[in-house]
Each structure stands twice: as structure tokens, then as C-alpha cells.
Amino acid sequence: TENIINTGFVTAVGDTIDISAITPLFGRIGDFLWDDANQNGIQDLGETGIANVTVKLYDGFGQLVATTVTNGLGKYQFLGLLPGSYQVEFVNPSIYDFTTQNADAQGINGANNSDVNPLTGKTAIFTLAGGEINYNVDAGLKPNASIGDRVWDDTNENGIQDNGENGMPNITVELYRCSDNSLVTSTVTNVNGNYSFNNLIGGDYYVQFTVPNGYTVSAALQGGNNQTDSNPDATGKTSCITLTAGEHNTTIDAGFFETPVPQDADLKIEKSVDEQNPNCGENVTFTINVTNLGPGTALDVVVTDVLPAGLDYQSSNASVGSYDDNTGTWTIGTLAFNEIATLTINVIVDCASINSTSIDFGAAEDFNLFVLEDLTQPSSDTQGKVAVGHDANLGGYSIGDQLPANSGDVLIVGNNLTYTSGSVLNGNVVYGNSTNLPHNAVSISGTLSQGYPIDFAAAKTYLENLSTTLGAYTVNGTVTMQWGGLKLTGTDPFLNVFAVNGSDLSSANDFQINVPNGSVVLVNINGTNVSWMGGLTVNGTAIYNVLYNFYEATNLSISGIDIRGTILAPFADLNFPSGVVNGQVIVKSMSGSGQFNLTLFQGNIPVDRMITNYACVTSSTDDNNANNNSSSATINIGSVDDGGDNGGGTGGNDGGNNGGSWSNVYSFTQGQIICSLLYDNNTIYAGTLGGKIYKSIDNGNNWTLINNGMNVGFIWSFVKNGSYIFAATENGVYRYDGNNWTLTSLNGKDVHTLTVHGSVIFAGTWGYGIFKSSDNGNTWSSANSGLGYFLTVQSLTVYNGEIFAGTIGGGLYKSTDGSTWTKVTCDYQLIWSLGSTDNAIFAGTYGDGLYRSTDGGSTFTKLVSIPVSFIYSIVTDASGNIFVSSLTNGVFVSSDNGDTWTALGMNGFGVSTLMVNPSTSDVYVGTKQGAVYKMNGLNGTTAVNNVNEIPTEFKLAQNYPNPFNPSTTIEFAVPAAGRFNVKVYDVIGREVATLMDKDVNAGNYKVTFDASRLASGIYIYRLVGNNVNITKKMMLIK
């Protein structure tokens, strides 16, 4: 049974109903109060009921009939209702709002909609028929928490909403969940700058205000009043806000103010030198002035000035900031409008360094691609290492596939790295600021880390200075432009320098380089805007010996070309949409899909005696005039005194090094580079550039030309066999019978080296391998079995009946039968010279010093005791002394089978070939200048003794006696163990003797200097090592 709770049939109080006459049919009303989570006004699957909410039932006249509450499932019902009109009211909890009414337009009978008015919580009045059960009267609730307030124009920039500061309309405001950073909703501020996020459930949120262009976010949480302060950080993002159910947080505000437009600061740097033509050993002072031409103040001002080789730092003085001579960085800081900052740097001209140094790329030396600023390559391949100074954006990009495993840092990016797809092989990735890596479309064989392994600012200055310096090198090659093609022709067997107009290169359809085999090519290209397309052919040398220097280019375009050689363009923005470079590329910035193949530059370019010192200035303040941000000063070091007559005859005493003095016994006419020397039975033969052969029968004092009409360009080497002299030329092998030179049957091939084993002559050629002749050159046969593709043979020697061949690119080979060759273990593959004693074989390399084998040639190991990279000649004497020479470093000798070496001088003279009289040990050298120098047989010159006492400071005593003749003693003290050397120089900076160069313990030492073979004059001796560089003078009087 049901209780009658509605007396709707009673018309007046006290009326009765005749139950027998009227049988009422009782009805029911009820259903569901739910949490409309998605706020769509429809009961969706998964949306739950809300319990304990009061529900009231009214009759059609507004009289309360009954009250109930929803159960645990959100259900309710009214029973025992008589027919009539009813209205249901849901009493809203304070943390909710009612959802949309009648969202599906089904009215009161809709099973899944909400039937209540959102404003009143009541349904419309509806009729219940007798016995009707209406379980469709529902109500949906939605959460009603909110976050909001105001965005205002903080005109006084104090972070507080002050009176009169207006709201900012149309500012986008976004609401995010803290848990997963997902966007909840977004809105824009109204005309008054107000915004609100409504109907929020409880939880943790943050607000992101979009900062309009030209505005800055005010400082947060100023003034101590959350109603008037600004909440977001500098990016417009607030901290997380915990919102409880039904809470209305109207304190989340944001203040913006117009960002002051910074004024540019035009920085001008000027560099000068007090002595433009100093001599070796003299002090030179460079002065750098930085002026702020305004109009704004310059911030974070830094000048980079890396001293080039040959200038030894002594002291500096800065009017503002400080100079670090280790990094070459002058930190100025702030420089106001019209303010001038001045730095002076005092240096000593170090000719010993100049004479023995070749150029290198510094920090860029090992990189296939080195970009000082930004790199953008949507698709490409770089076989070697890549370094980028600022941002790199790479996609579809492979790096390092031709590197050996575990090659260290293969990709280095100084700032932001974006890498969408590709691979980094055989090494690591390092980025400076940010990256999207790791990424599933990018594979890295090594590690990913953050760091700054390269000082790109210092590298920029160094490379710009290098490019500028190389651009001033003296030209010795010819350039012709004809029929749209550029043709470069050089004849120097060591270094060919060309000057090319950028406008000619931009219009050329062909580019040809023709130089002697094995020589180095430096192509200096002028012009600020240069493009390069068309064909390129390099004849006569390897691509690792070719350098294209764009020393003025700011815009460089390369397209559709296979460039063979290295590009140095540190001022240039490179556009490289297609093509390939087989060499290194060094540029300011780069974009495009061009490819870079791994060929590192290895050419020997000596440091010039004209030195350019370059400085540049940077600032964090915008500087729209980059034309005055760099400056340079050039000095021309006093020329080396050759001590003799350039036209011929004997020269004076030329100083020297350990073992004796050099004298200029003869000088051929200018341009006759001496390529080869041979001593035979009191006769000396000299072969020169230009294809001339001379002989001297008086120890080099006078010479006679003996090959008129030979018509060759180079005499690369000589060998004696029986009664004949043989000469290797670029046109084959010639034979001399004492009267005439005859071309043998080995002709038309560039022969660089000759040796004899038994009665068989062996000839090494460039490109054709090895030939041999057993009939004094009447016939020749190829002997290349086992050499494979490595047919560029530069040197040959014989040791214990076996023949050794040095190749360019293939390393070392040996043969036991003169026909078949096997590979020999040697870590370096560019072998330029070979020689042997009774106990060892020596291999001079092009770029990696000297190697030795003491196991019959099975293996070769590098000798670290001789600090020379390029070894051009190796000869021995009857006593087993080994002599080697380098173009820039001069001559060295070892009397202990290569364990230790003594410098004999001639560094800076351009020693091009070397010869020793096997019986007297008199040493002869030929030079690039066409001079012949002689040093008489060796004797000892130095001694080192330790005096037992531990000093407390470095000391270099005055020599005694002084003046002296011929020997003197030098004492010095070192307070701590380390590597130290004591060297003697002449007054123009050439090294005369190394008295000591080794690791020693703390103590007092003395060395003896024997100058019996030196000329009278002033000499300089210097103690150099860990934390010490002391110089004194002494006088030799004979």
C-alpha cells in the first residue's frame, strides 16, 4: 500500500471523499540528480549521481507537498501521488551550478536531459495523471569554481594596479592543469581588461597570459596585496593555483608595460702598431681603441684579440676592464655613448716561432664543417665532424659516417640544436643551451650532453685573422681568364699562391688549377659577393693540399659543383643549395642541402713574415653597423740575412746551431728553387726548378750548368749507378755519362724518387707506381704488384736487401724481390721521405713528423723527440748520423739512432733539399731562394751539470766569462720539476743552439755553450718552461 500524500481531489478543508465513489490511482515522480562533468546538459555514460541533495515537491498552486534527499546514487522519488499538477525544486549545493535545461528538446519527459531552470532550480509545472509514474524529472549540476580578474597597463612599471591604470582588452588568457600541462580553456579580456574562467572543478591550475608584442611583464607579487599585484613570471605564466570546489579566486592579475626600445650602440674598433717593420727579438706595442658612437649605451662589450704565431705576449694595459692573454679576450663591460676604451698589448717578435710554424685552423682543425654562427640544413650529409657556434636546425641529416669509431665529440652546437631526423655516427653530440634530443627519429652512437667544448668567439677572431693574413700572401702563380674559364698555373714545388677576382669566379664556367705534383695551393679570392658554379679541375696535387680563401666575402653562393679542396670564408654567409665539397668548410653561417665529404686540409703553408694581428668587438646591444667591428694591424718582420751575395760566390758566416756554423757558399739566380743535391766523388750536383742541373768540383763555391737543352721543369732527385748519374724529372728519367744527358725509355711520367739496389735502378712515379731497370735505363718494367691503387710513390730506400716505398695516401710498402710489395704497419699514410742506417729505417711524413722502425721494417713508430711535422729529406753519413730537414724548421741531426735530436739551424731559410758528404759529414742544403749553404763536420757543443741545492725561485745567471771566446758557462735555477729548455739565438731571432730541452727536477744547473764555429757578435740565451721565460744577452768576441 502507499500513503496518500496529496489531497488534490479535496476542494475545501473538511471535504471528504467517498472512496466507494472515487478510487484514486496513486502516481509517482522521481529520477536522477547527476554531475554533468562535460557540462552538455545530457546524462552521458559514466557521469555519476550526486547524493544528499534536497528535493522539494510542490503542487500546481505552489504549496509544498513533500521533501526528500537524493540517495547515494543520486536518485530520488515521491510516492503516493494523486493526479494533479506538480513542480519539482532541487536545492542547489553552493559548489555547483545547474547545467543547461532541456538540452535535447525532449521537455519534461526527456529521459536524459536536465529539466530545471538554471536560475531557480525548479522545473516547469507539469501534470501527473492518475496512476502515472514519471521517472524523467532530472537535474544536472556542474561545478561552479572560478579563476579570474584583470590584465592592466602598468604604466609606472611598479607591478601594482594603481588608480588610473587602465585594463587591457583582447589579451589572450589560457588556463592549464598543473598535473599534465594540458589546456583547460582559453578566453580574452573584455574592454575593461577583465577575464574569468567559470564552472571549474577543484584542482591545481596555472594561468598563461599572452604577452603582447612590445610589452614586458611587470615584476610579480609587488606591494603585498594579492588583489592589486601581478602574478605571472617574465614569460606570462603564473605558479600553480590550488582551487577548492566552489572557490572563486579573483586575484589572478597580470600587469604589462611597454618595453623600452633599446637604442643601438655603434661600436668602432681601431687597431694600430707602433713599429710596422720590427726586427726579430724587438718589442712591439699594439694599441686598440673601442669607441661607442652611440646613440645608446653598449652592454657586455668584449674584444677578442688572439695573438698570431710569432708574437710572444709580454704585458698589457687596459683603461677599462681586463685582458686575458690566455684567451685573447678583453672584457670591457659597459661602454657609454662617446666613451673610448683603450688597450695596449706589448709583444716580442719571436722569429724562431715564425720560422718553424705552419698555419693551422685552430679550433676548426679537425672539423669537416665549422660554422661560426647558424647552420640550417634540411637534408644533407657530412662525413666528418660538425661544429656550429650558435643555432643548428638539421633534418634528414647524417654526420660522421666516415669517422673511426669513438671519435669523441662529432657534433658540437654552441646554443640551440633542433634535429628532426637523421643520425650521428661514431661519436657524441654536445649542445650549449637547448635541444629537442633525444628524438626517436635521430640516432646517436655516442652520448648526448650539454656543454661548451669550443670557444667560438676566440675561434672567430683566430679564423678571421688567419683568412686576412693569408689574403696578403705574396702571389707566385699566374691566373688567366679566357673564353669564360679561369686557369691557374703554378710552378713552385712547395707552395703556389694565386689571386683571383671574385667577379671572374662568379662568371666563370670552368676553373682549372695546374701545379707540380705534391705542392700546396692557396687561392685567395677577393670580393664581398661571390658565387661559384661550373666545372673545377685540380691537376698535379691532392685535394687535401688545396685551400680556397675568401678573405673578403660576406655573401658566398655555391651551387651544382664538386669543389675539391678546403674553403676558408669566416666572414661569409654561405648559401649552398646543392653540390659537394671534398674538403673542410669554414664559414660564418650556412644554409642549404649541399654535402660535405671528409678530406681535412693537410697542406704545409709556412707562417709569413708579414703578420696581421686582428681584433673584433662584440656587444649584447644591437649594432647595425658591422663594418667597423673589426680592425687589424700588420707588421713586416725584417728579412732574414742570408749572409752572402744573392748573385753568387761565397757568403759570410751565417750563424748556426749545435754542431757548427752555416755559410752561404753560392746563390743561383732568383726563382731557381734547389730541388735535389747529390755528392759523388768530390763533385756536387744540384737540380733546380726550371729543369737545370749544375755541378761543382770545389765544394759548392762555383757551379757549371751541364744540361742545356733538356727541356724539363723539375729535377726531383739524383742517384748514382756505376759510372752513370740518373736524374728524375717530371718527363721521365735522364742518364748522364759525364758528357751528355739522355732520356731513358722511362719517359712521359713524373718521376719523383730514385734508388739503386745491386745494379737495379728503381724509379717511383706520381700516379704510375714503381718501375725498375737492370740495364741502366735502356729498358724499364713496371713493378707494382701489391701496391693496388696507391701508385703515387714519393720516396724509396734500401735496407738489408729490402726495398721500401713511401706513398702518398697508401703509407709504406716493402719488397724482398723488387717486384711484389707488401703493406708495412705505419699509423700515418702520407710518406714524403725515407732513409736508413745500419740499425733502423726512418720515414718522414707530410704532416705527422718522423717514424722509425727497428725491427727490419715490420712496424714503424712515431718519434716524439723531434718536434717537426713535415719531413722533406732524410740522409745519413758514414758514421751513422741521421740528418733530416724541413722546409720551415731547418736541419736536425741524431747520433743515437733517432732517440735524441739536435737542431742544426737554417730554420726560416726554406730548406728544400739536403745532402751530406758521407766521408767528412759536411752538410749541404739547398733552399727555396736558390741558395746553397754548407756546414762543416759536426762536433759537440753543450754540457749540462746539476749543482746540488734546491732553489726557491727561477734564476738565469749572466754567462761567464762574458765576453767569451769560444765557450762560456750559463747557470740557471728551477724551483720545481718540469720541462725546461735553454736555447741560444742570434740577434735576428734564429735559433743557434739548444743547450738543454728535457724534464728536470728542481735544482741548480749549468750548461756550457761552445761557439767555436760561430761568428763574433751578440747572442741571446733564454730559459723557457713551466711558468718561466727569462732572456739575457752575451757577447762572443773572436
Per-residue b/e over 857-881, b at no fewer than 16 CB within 10 Å? beebebbebbebbbbbbbbbbeeeb
Per-residue model confidence (pLDDT) at position 949 = 53
Per-residue b/e over 530-548, b at no fewer than 16 CB within 10 Å? bbbbbebebebbbbbbbbb
pLDDT, mean of residues 211-230: 93
Q: Is the pLDDT of residue 121 over 70?
A: yes
pLDDT higher at 814 or 1002: 814
pLDDT, mean of residues 357-386: 93
Chain centroid offset of residue 639 CA: 35
Domain end, chosen from 143, 170, 205, is at 143
pLDDT higher at 389 or 945: 389
Same domain, 35 and 119: yes
pLDDT, one tens digit per residue, over 582-625 is 999 999 999 999 999 999 999 999 888 888 888 989 999 999 89
Per-residue b/e over 891-924, b at no fewer than 16 CB within 10 Å? bbbbbebbeebbbbbbbbbbbbbbbbbeeebbbb
Q: Is 199 contained in some domain? A: yes
**Among 322-336, 484-498, 844-858, 895-909, which stretch is predicted with the lowest mean pLDDT?**
895-909
pLDDT, mean of residues 648-674: 62
Q: Is 6 contained in some domain? A: no
| CB neighbour class for 104 (10 Å; exposed up to 12, middle 13-18, buried from 19) | middle
Q: Is 605 contained in some domain? A: no
Three-state SS for 965-986 is CCEEEEEEEECCCEEEEEEEEC
What are the two backbone dihedrals, phi and then psi, of residue 998, each rounded to the nearest 5 degrees?
A: -165, 175
Per-residue model confidence (pLDDT) at position 938 = 59
pLDDT higher at 198 or 1000: 198
What are the two backbone dihedrals, phi and then psi, of residue 543, each rounded to the nearest 5 degrees?
A: -70, -20
Q: What is the DSSP letter of 658?
A: T
CATH number where 334 lies: 2.60.40.1530
Per-residue model confidence (pLDDT) at position 24 = 58
Q: What percent of the chain has pLDDT over 90?
A: 69
Which range among 453-462, 542-551, 928-937 has the greatest average pLDDT?
542-551
Dihedral sign from CA coordinates of 393, 396, 402, 408: positive
User: d(Cα 568, Cα 105) in Å, to the nearest integer?
Assistant: 77
Q: What percent of the chain has pLDDT over 70?
A: 94
pLDDT, one tens digit per residue, over 727-737 is 999 999 999 99
Q: Is 559 contained in some domain? A: no
CATH number where 249 lies: 2.60.40.10
Query: Residue 264 carries which side chain, given as an amino acid letter?
Result: D
User: d(Cα 585, Cα 364) in Å, to the nearest integer?
Assistant: 9
Same domain, 289 and 230: no
Place of cell 691532392: 542
User: d(Cα 247, Cα 340) in Å, to the nearest integer?
Assistant: 61
Q: Terminal CA-to-CA distance of the chain, rounded, Å?
A: 145
Spatial CB neighbours of 454, under 8 Å, sequence gap ≥ 6:
363, 387, 389, 412, 414
Q: Is the pLDDT of residue 21 over 80?
A: no
Grid cell, residue 457, equals: 668567439
pLDDT, mean of residues 387-411: 95
User: d(Cα 787, Cα 871) in Å, to the nearest integer?
Assistant: 23
Same domain, 129 and 61: yes
Same domain, 68 and 172: no
Grid cell, residue 715, equals: 729535377
Per-residue model confidence (pLDDT) at position 639 = 47
- Beta pairing class for 183-188 and 139-143: unpaired
Domain end, chosen from 229, 258, 287, is at 258
Same domain, 193 and 212: yes
Q: Which helix (H) or strand (E) holds 463?
A: helix 456-471
Same domain, 35 and 132: yes
Same domain, 131 and 161: no
Q: Is the pLDDT of residue 454 over 50?
A: yes
DSSP result, 165-226: PPB-TT-EEEEEETTT--EEEEEE--TTSEEEEEEEPSEEEEEEEPPPTTEEEPPSS-TT-T
pLDDT, one tens digit per residue, over 536-583 is 999 989 899 999 999 999 999 999 899 999 999 999 999 999 999 999
Q: Is the pLDDT of residue 694 over 90?
A: yes
Per-residue model confidence (pLDDT) at position 15 = 39
Given a contact cutoff of 8 angstroms between Cβ atoms, the answer to whether 536 and 560 are in contact is no
Per-residue model confidence (pLDDT) at position 904 = 86
Per-residue model confidence (pLDDT) at position 721 = 94
Range 559-564 contact pairs with CB under 8 angstroms and sequence separation of 24 or more: 559/531, 559/532, 559/533, 560/533, 561/532, 561/533, 561/534, 561/535, 561/536, 562/536, 563/532, 563/536, 564/536, 564/538
Place of cell 735530436: 901
Number of domain units in the chain: 4
CA distances to 385, 400, 427 from 404, in Å: 11, 9, 9
User: d(Cα 287, Cα 631) in Å, to the nearest integer?
Assistant: 11
Same domain, 972 and 1019: yes
Task: Compute how many other C-beta atoms are within 10 angstroms of the C-beta atom of residue 856.
Answer: 12
Q: Is 363 contained in some domain? A: no
Q: Is 286 contained in some domain? A: yes
pLDDT, mean of residues 959-966: 88
The domain of 95 spans: 27-143
Given a contact cutoff of 8 angstroms between Cβ atoms, the answer to whether 666 and 925 are in contact is no
Q: Is the pLDDT of residue 658 over 80?
A: no
pLDDT higher at 799 or 22: 799
User: d(Cα 904, Cα 907) in Å, to the nearest integer?
Assistant: 9
Spatial CB neighbours of 458, under 8 Å, sequence gap ≥ 6:
304, 306, 327, 328, 329, 363
pLDDT, mean of residues 1010-1032: 87
Given a contact cutoff of 8 angstroms between Cβ atoms, the answer to whether 886 and 871 are in contact is yes
Q: Is 162 contained in some domain? A: yes
CATH number where 970 lies: 2.60.40.2550
Among candidates 724, 746, 745, which has minimal Cα distance to 735? 724
pLDDT, mean of residues 373-377: 95
User: d(Cα 358, Cα 608) in Å, to the nearest integer?
Assistant: 9
Chain centroid offset of residue 269 CA: 25
Query: Residue 891 carries which side chain, given as an amino acid letter?
Result: V
Q: What is the DSSP letter of 107?
A: G
Among candidates 595, 484, 657, 545, which has minimal Cα distance to 1010? 657
Confidence of residue 17 (pLDDT cuts 50, 70, 90): very low
Per-residue model confidence (pLDDT) at position 655 = 34
Grid cell, residue 953, equals: 725561485
Grid cell, residue 981, equals: 729548455
Grid cell, residue 134, equals: 514519471
Q: Is the pLDDT of residue 878 over 80?
A: no
Given a contact cutoff of 8 angstroms between Cβ atoms, the answer to whether 800 and 812 are in contact is no
Three-state DSSP at 628 gives helix
Spatial CB neighbours of 45, under 8 Å, sequence gap ≥ 6:
none
In the sheet that holds 704-705, the strands lie side by side as 674-680, 683-688, 693-696, 704-705
Dihedral sign from CA coordinates of 803, 807, 812, 815: negative
Strands, DSSP E only, in 214-264? Answer: 215-217, 241-243, 248-249, 254-258
Length of the chain: 1038
Domain end, chosen from 118, 143, 168, is at 143
pLDDT higher at 548 or 994: 548
In the sheet that holds 732-736, the strands lie side by side as 715-721, 724-729, 732-736, 741-747
Q: Is the pLDDT of residue 669 over 60?
A: yes
User: d(Cα 757, Cα 799) in Å, to the nearest integer?
Assistant: 9
Same domain, 34 and 134: yes
pLDDT, one tens digit per residue, over 716-770 is 999 999 999 999 999 999 999 999 999 999 999 999 999 999 989 999 999 999 9
Q: Is the pLDDT of residue 141 over 60?
A: yes
Confidence of residue 51 (pLDDT cuts 50, 70, 90): very high
What are the two backbone dihedrals, phi and then psi, of residue 832, each rounded to the nearest 5 degrees?
A: -100, -35
User: d(Cα 8, Cα 25) in Å, to the nearest integer?
Assistant: 12
Task: Compute how many other C-beta atoms are within 10 angstroms of the C-beta atom of residue 211.
Answer: 18
Per-residue model confidence (pLDDT) at position 654 = 36
Dihedral sign from CA coordinates of 788, 791, 795, 799: positive
Same domain, 67 and 170: no
What are the two backbone dihedrals, phi and then psi, of residue 697, each rounded to the nearest 5 degrees?
A: -115, 10
HSE-up (13 A, CA, CB side) for residue 353: 15
Average pLDDT taken over every residue of the chain: 89
Same domain, 280 and 187: no
pLDDT, one tens digit per residue, over 380-390 is 899 999 999 99
Which range among 94-103, 817-826, 996-1005 has the greatest average pLDDT?
817-826
Grid cell, residue 890, equals: 731547418
pLDDT, mean of residues 133-144: 91
pLDDT, mean of residues 692-705: 94
Same domain, 125 and 153: no
pLDDT, one tens digit per residue, over 891-927 is 999 988 999 988 888 887 889 999 998 767 789 999 9
Q: Is 51 contained in some domain? A: yes
Chain centroid offset of residue 158 CA: 45
The pTM score is 0.64
Per-residue model confidence (pLDDT) at position 653 = 32
